[in-house]
Amino acid sequence: MTIAGRTYRSRLIVGTGKYKDLAQNAAAVEAAGAEIVTVAVRRVNVTNPKEPMLVDYIDPKKVTYLPNTAGCYTAEDAVRTLRLAREAGGWNLVKLEVLGDQKTLYPDMIETLRAAEALIKDGFEVMVYCTDDPIMAKKLEELGCCAIMPLAAPIGSGLGIQNPINIRLIIEQAKVPVLVDAGVGTASDAAIAMELGCDGVLMNTAIAEAKDPIRMARAMKLAVEAGRLAYLAGRMPKKKYADPSSPLSGLI
Amino acid sequence: MTIAGRTYRSRLIVGTGKYKDLAQNAAAVEAAGAEIVTVAVRRVNVTNPKEPMLVDYIDPKKVTYLPNTAGCYTAEDAVRTLRLAREAGGWNLVKLEVLGDQKTLYPDMIETLRAAEALIKDGFEVMVYCTDDPIMAKKLEELGCCAIMPLAAPIGSGLGIQNPINIRLIIEQAKVPVLVDAGVGTASDAAIAMELGCDGVLMNTAIAEAKDPIRMARAMKLAVEAGRLAYLAGRMPKKKYADPSSPLSGLI
Amino acid sequence: MTIAGRTYRSRLIVGTGKYKDLAQNAAAVEAAGAEIVTVAVRRVNVTNPKEPMLVDYIDPKKVTYLPNTAGCYTAEDAVRTLRLAREAGGWNLVKLEVLGDQKTLYPDMIETLRAAEALIKDGFEVMVYCTDDPIMAKKLEELGCCAIMPLAAPIGSGLGIQNPINIRLIIEQAKVPVLVDAGVGTASDAAIAMELGCDGVLMNTAIAEAKDPIRMARAMKLAVEAGRLAYLAGRMPKKKYADPSSPLSGLI
Amino acid sequence: MTIAGRTYRSRLIVGTGKYKDLAQNAAAVEAAGAEIVTVAVRRVNVTNPKEPMLVDYIDPKKVTYLPNTAGCYTAEDAVRTLRLAREAGGWNLVKLEVLGDQKTLYPDMIETLRAAEALIKDGFEVMVYCTDDPIMAKKLEELGCCAIMPLAAPIGSGLGIQNPINIRLIIEQAKVPVLVDAGVGTASDAAIAMELGCDGVLMNTAIAEAKDPIRMARAMKLAVEAGRLAYLAGRMPKKKYADPSSPLSGLI
C-alpha cells in the first residue's frame, strides 16, 4: 500500500484510544503488524513528561504516527489542530476528520471539504475520513487528498460494512488508496472490506474492546491479508444451485 | 482440532476435485496448510498405474486422506463404497455423504442416519455431511459420529453461510467438532464460519474454481486462522450508535 | 389458495395462543381476514363450560378450525392427539407438528414423517410443519401431505425468513401448497414469504405480541396480499448501477 | 401525510417515466392510489398539442403534479428548470434533484444544498432527493426543505434499502416528512421503508418495469399501507430462541 509516496507492507492501520494502558496499546500494534498508528492530537499527551507518553511505547521511528482531528466539529478547528501537530511533531501526513454530530460521529462533509482544501493548500498530505457517498469521495480526491477513508458504519459500532455497494463504487472510481475507516467489528468485517477491493482498513474499537485485544489484533492482521489475497485470487462465481465437487460422469 | 482422537493444527480441510491437474491440487493443499484432504472414493484413481495417481502428488503419510461417498444416493451405496475404500486403503476415518437430489446436492438425512448407524456399528469413524437442522445434527452425534459437518449453502454454490442461526445452534449443543462443509465462496465466508465457533471448514470449489487457486488457498488458510482467533478473542459488542475511539472529555 | 379440495380467499392463517383474551383473539382473526385459525388441541378448552370457549368467539361455521399438535414430541403423541380431536370435533384437516426440542421448537423430522404416514393412512388431511430442508419436504409431499409448512425461523422468534434459498427450492418442487409457518415478525417478513412464491403464511406471535395486535393483524392481511400481487406481477430485475427513471436523450 | 401544509391519505408517490404509454401510466397511478405524481420537467410534453399530453390522462385537479429536476447536474440548472415550471404551470411544490454522475445517479449534495437554498429563498416548497447521510439531511431540513427524500439504493436499481441504519437515523432526527425516494424494487422493500418509520415512498421503475405494472402498483399500495400499520402497531421483539405459541404448562 503506497500512501503519499511511501510504501507500507501492512494494510492495517490501528488506533490509540480505549486501550487499558499504553503497554497494551503497543502490544496490539505489534500483534497487528501495523506500520501506521493514528493518534488523536487533542487527546495524546505530548508535552507533560510526568504522564506516560505514547512515544515511549510505540517508536515513531519504526511506526508512522498519523495525527488525526478526533473531536473537531468545524473546518477551522481541524485545520488549527493539525497545524499545531505539525509545529509540535513535524507531522505532514495527517488524517482529517470533521464530525457532524455526537450521536453518529459521522463526518460533516461540507466542513470536511473545506478543511481538506485548506490543509492541502497548506502543504499537508491529507487522508480523509468521509461518508460512503461516492460523489463526495470524488470531490475529496479531486481536491488532492492522498487517501479516501469511507466509513463502514458508525465509529465504535462494530456493525461492519453497511453499504458494500457504495464502498465498491468509491473503489471503482478512485485513483488513490481507499481504506475503510470506521465500524469494523470482527475479523470477517475486515476481510469483506478487502475483498471489495479496499487498499486497507483502519480500526480501533474492534481491537481495543475485544475481550482479548492482542489476540484480536492478530486476527485482524490475518483477516486483512486473507481478504487481500482473496481479492487478488478472484473468487469463484456464485451459483444458484449446487455444483458437484466430484463429477462422477462415466466413472462407475 | 481433534477428530477421532487425532489432533490437527490446521482447521481447513480441502477437496480433490475440479483442479486443473493433480500438481495444482497438491500445490493448493500445500498453500492451504491442510492436513486432511477429502477424496471421492468413486472418482479417484487408486488402481490404474497408467493414469496419474493422487498419492504421487499428495503424500498420504503427511496428509490424512479422508475418503468420501460423493455420488452416493442411498445408505447401501455409501456403506458399500466405504467398505471398499477400507479394504483398498485401510481407511477407517471417513466422510459420509448421502445425497438427496442432483439439483441441490443436499443430503438425504434419513439415508444419512441409516448409513451412519451401519458404518459406526461396522467400526468406522464417521464425519458426516448434513443439513443445518440442529435436531438431525444431534441425532447424528448420538449415533456416535465423530464430527458434524453441516452445509453452509448448496455444494459448489459459493453463497456462504445462509443460516448462521442454525450453525450456531448446532455448535452450542455439540460435544464433537462441528465443521462447515459446503457453500463457502471466499475468505470472509470461512472467517464467518469460524467466528460462529465452528471447529473447522471443508471446501473444494472455492479454491479450485478461483481464478488463482493457489493464492485463494493461502487466503483461506489465513481466513480460517483469523476467524478462529477472533472467536477466541471475543469480539466487541455491536452498538446501535457511535462510540468515539478518542474520548476527549476534559482534555481541552 | 386451495387446500385439501377447499378454496380460501385469504392466504393468512392465524393462531389462537398468547392473546390477552378470546375477544382480542377473535378481533385479530377478523382484522386479519383469516378464514383458517389453528388451535392447539392440548391447550384449548373444548369441554369445560365454566371456562370461556373459543367457539363462542370465533364461529367454526365461518372460520375453519385447524387443530394442531403443539406440545407433542413423538409421533405417537401427535397421532393420539389428533385422533382425540377428530372424535371430539370431527376435524379431519389437521396441522401436524412434532417438536424436536424446547430450545428451538424445531420439528423432529423423523418423528414428523412417521406421524404423517400414520395420519394419512388413517384418513387425515395433513398440513405439516417442517424444517426448510427441501429433501424432507419432498418426502412429506410424497407421503401425501396436503400442504407443506416450512419454518422461516424459530417459532416465536420474529426473525423472518432465515434461508430464502431453501424456501424457494421447496416451492419450485412442490405440487401442493407451501405455507411459511413460523418465525415471521412483521409485515415485510410476510410480504417476502409471498414474493418467494409461497401460497400462504401462518403466524401467531407476530400478531399476538405486537403492541397493538389488531392493527398488526390488518398490517399482515395487507402484507400477504401485497406480497402475492408482487409475485404475480413479476418484479423488475435488480441492477448493479443506476438507471434513470426519466431518460432525457435528445429532449433538450 | 402532510407536506407543505397539505394532507394526503396516500403515502405512495409514483413517477411518470418508462411506462409503455400514458394510458398505462394513468392506470398505474390509479391502481397505486397515488395522490401525487412526479414529473420530469425537462422531459414531459406540456406545450406541443400534437403530441400526447400527460394532463389528458392524469387530471391535475385530482392528482398533485410534483415537478422534478431529473437530468440536472448543477444547482443553476435545477433552479432554472423549476422557475420555468412555475411560470408554465404555477407549480410551487417541487422535487429537487441535482445529480452527481450518470453511473450512480446519486445526488451531488453540495449542488443540492445550493439549489435548495436558492429555491427556498425564491418561495418554492422543496422536497429534496438526497443521499442517506443524516448530517446532510439535517442541513437540508435546516434550510427549510419541506420533505427529506433519501435514496434507498441507486435510481432504477431495484436493490431495496441498502443502509437501514442511516434511514432510521434520518427519521429519528427529522421534524419534516421523510420519504424513501429511489431503489425500491418490490413490495417488501416498500413495506420495510415504512416499518422503519418513513412517512412515504416514491417509486417509478419498480412499477413501470414490472412485468405487469398495474398489478405491481396495487401491490405497492398495499405494501405501503401494511408497512405503515406495522410501524404503528409496534412489532414484537426479536428473540434469539424459540418461544411457543401455545404454552402448555399445567394443562395436560
pLDDT in tens, B219-235: 999 999 999 999 999 99
Give the mean model confidence (pLDDT) for residues B242-251: 63
Query: How is residue D202 written as a grid cell?
Result: 416514491
Using the predicted structure, report yes or no on whether residue C171 has a pLDDT greater than 60: yes
With 0-12 / 13-18 / 19 or more C-beta atoms within 10 angstroms meaning exposed / middle / buried, residue C84 is: middle
pLDDT at C252: 38
Best residue in B74, B135, B172, B173 for a mutation probing chain C (most C CBs within 10 Å): B135
Q: How many domains does the structure of chain D reveal?
A: 1
The H-or-E segment that residue A172 falls in is helix A164-173
Using the predicted structure, report yes or no on whether residue B57 has a pLDDT greater than 50: yes
- Is C250 inside a domain boundary? no
Using the predicted structure, report yes or no on whether residue D146 has a pLDDT greater than 70: yes
Per-residue pLDDT tens digits for A181-196: 999 999 999 999 999 9
Using the predicted structure, report yes or no on whether residue B46 has a pLDDT greater than 70: no
C212 and D234: CB-CB below 8 Å? yes
Calculate the dihedral angle through the C-alpha atoms of C183, C184, C186, C189, rounding to the nearest 10 degrees: 130
Q: How far apart are CA B240 and CA B226, in angstroms?
A: 25
Catalytic residue of the set D50, D61, D62, D95: D95
Residues of B in contact with C182 (CB under 8 A): none
What residue has cell string 424457494? C168
pLDDT at D252: 38
Using the predicted structure, report yes or no on whether residue A251 has a pLDDT greater than 70: no
Give the mean model confidence (pLDDT) for residues A102-125: 97
CATH assignment of the domain containing A85 = 3.20.20.70
- Is C52 inside a domain boundary? yes
Nearest residue to B15 (alpha-carbon basis) of B213, B212, B245: B213
Question: Which of D133, D153, D162 lies at the smallest CB-CB distance from A109?
Answer: D133
Question: Which of C156, C237, C241 lies at the smallest CB-CB distance from D243?
Answer: C156
DSSP strand pairing (C36-40 vs D125-130): unpaired
**ipTM of the complex model:** 0.94
Could you tell me which chain D residue has the CA closest to the CA of A138?
A: D100
Q: Please, which pLDDT band fits residue D250 given cuts at 50, 70 and 90?
A: very low
Per-residue pLDDT tens digits for B99-131: 999 999 999 999 999 999 999 999 999 999 999
Q: Average pLDDT over chain A, rounded to whole? A: 94
Binding residue numbers of B: 156, 182-183, 204-205
- What phi and psi values does residue C241 have, to the nearest 5 degrees? -120, 180
> Which residues of A are designated catalytic?
95
Query: How is residue D136 written as a grid cell?
Result: 446532510
Question: Which of A101, A110, A163 lies at the smallest CB-CB distance from D163?
Answer: A163
With 0-12 / 13-18 / 19 or more C-beta atoms within 10 angstroms meaning exposed / middle / buried, residue B73 is: middle
Chains touching chain C, criterion 3+ CB pairs below 8 Å: B, D
Identify whether the C-beta of residue B206 lies closer than 8 Å to the C-beta of residue B216: yes
pLDDT at B247: 58
Give the mean model confidence (pLDDT) for residues A51-68: 93
Domain hosting D171: range is: 8-233
Q: Please, which pLDDT band fits residue A6 given cuts at 50, 70 and 90?
A: very high
- Where are any strands of DSSP class E within A9-134? 12-14, 36-40, 64-68, 93-96, 125-130
Q: How far apart are CA A197 and CA A226, in angstroms?
A: 12
pLDDT at D15: 96
- Is C63 inside a domain boundary? yes
pLDDT at A250: 42
> Which residues of B are designated catalytic?
95
- Is B1 inside a domain boundary? no
Please give the C-alpha separations between residue D156 and each of A17, D91, D205, D217, in angstroms, as whole numbers: 42, 26, 6, 16
Give the mean model confidence (pLDDT) for residues A120-146: 98
Question: Which of B106, B139, B163 lies at the smallest CB-CB distance from C162?
Answer: B163
- Is D246 inside a domain boundary? no
Q: Please, which pLDDT band fits residue C248 given cuts at 50, 70 and 90?
A: low
- Where are any strands of DSSP class E within B155-199? 179-180
pLDDT at D73: 97
Q: Which residues of A touch D (CB under 8 A)?
A: 100-101, 103-104, 106-110, 113, 131, 133-136, 138-139, 153-154, 159, 162-163, 165-166, 169
Using the predicted structure, report yes or no on whether residue D249 has a pLDDT greater than 90: no
pLDDT at D48: 74
pLDDT at B250: 42
Identify whether the C-beta of residue C176 lies closer than 8 Å to the C-beta of residue C147: yes
The H-or-E segment that residue A143 falls in is helix A134-143
Best residue in B113, B166, B168 for a mutation probing chain C (most C CBs within 10 Å): B166
Could you tell me which chain D residue has the CA closest to the CA of A100?
A: D135
> Amino acid identity of D28?
A
DSSP strand pairing (D36-40 vs D12-14): parallel
Q: Which residues of B touch C (CB under 8 A)?
A: 100-101, 103-104, 106-110, 113, 131, 133-136, 138-139, 153-154, 159, 162-163, 165-166, 169
Residues of A in contact with D169 (CB under 8 A): 103-104
The H-or-E segment that residue A81 falls in is helix A75-89
What residue has cell string 482447521? B11
Please give the C-alpha separations between residue B247 and each of A20, A21, A76, B136, C158, in angstroms, as whole numbers: 14, 14, 20, 49, 37
> Amino acid identity of C245?
S
DSSP, collapsed to helix, strand or coil, labels residue D168 as helix
Other Cβ atoms less than 10 A from the Cβ of D168: the count is 18
In this predicted model, which residue has the larger pLDDT, D43 or C249? D43
Q: Does residue A234 have a known ligand-binding role?
A: no
Give the mean model confidence (pLDDT) for residues D215-239: 97
Q: Please, which pLDDT band fits residue B64 given cuts at 50, 70 and 90?
A: very high
Identify whether the C-beta of residue D35 lies closer than 8 Å to the C-beta of residue D247: no
Using the predicted structure, report yes or no on whether residue B246 has a pLDDT greater than 70: no
Q: Average pLDDT over chain D, rounded to whole? A: 94
pLDDT at B44: 74
pLDDT at C51: 83
Eight-class DSSP state of A88: H
Percent of chain D surpassing pLDDT 90: 88
Best residue in C222, C240, C249 for a mutation probing chain D (most D CBs within 10 Å): C222
Identify whether the C-beta of residue D96 lies closer than 8 Å to the C-beta of residue D128: yes
pLDDT at C46: 63
C212 and D219: CB-CB below 8 Å? no
Give the mean model confidence (pLDDT) for residues B233-238: 96
Per DSSP, helices labelled H in D122-212 are 134-143, 164-173, 187-195, 205-208
Q: Please, which pLDDT band fits residue D203 given cuts at 50, 70 and 90?
A: very high
Q: Please, which pLDDT band fits residue A246 given cuts at 50, 70 and 90?
A: low
